[in-house]
Amino acid sequence: MTARLRTPTARVCERCDRAERWDDDLEAWQLAEEDGDKLVGNPHCLHEWDINGTFNPVVENGT
């Protein structure tokens, strides 16, 4: 079997609720929007992203 890697496509700061999404065209994180408002959070926060040890980047083919 061949494994493939997947990457996160969204993240949210656990401290200030800043939300970002991955933009494939720009190859960079961009602010997420909700009802036309950018979810900027606190600009002075040292962001603690909600990506932790439960995220498994390895996906087995066929699953």
pLDDT tens digits for the chain (63 residues)? Answer: 577 787 888 999 999 999 999 999 999 999 999 999 999 999 899 999 887 777 777 887 654
**Exposed / middle / buried, residue 37 (Cβ in 10 Å: 0-12, 13-18, 19+):** exposed
Q: How many domains in the chain?
A: 1
Residue 49 lies in a domain: no
Let me know if residue 47 belongs to a domain: no
The phi and psi torsions of 27 (rounded to 5 degrees) equal 55, 50
d(CA 17, CA 40): 8
**Domain annotation covers residue 35:** yes
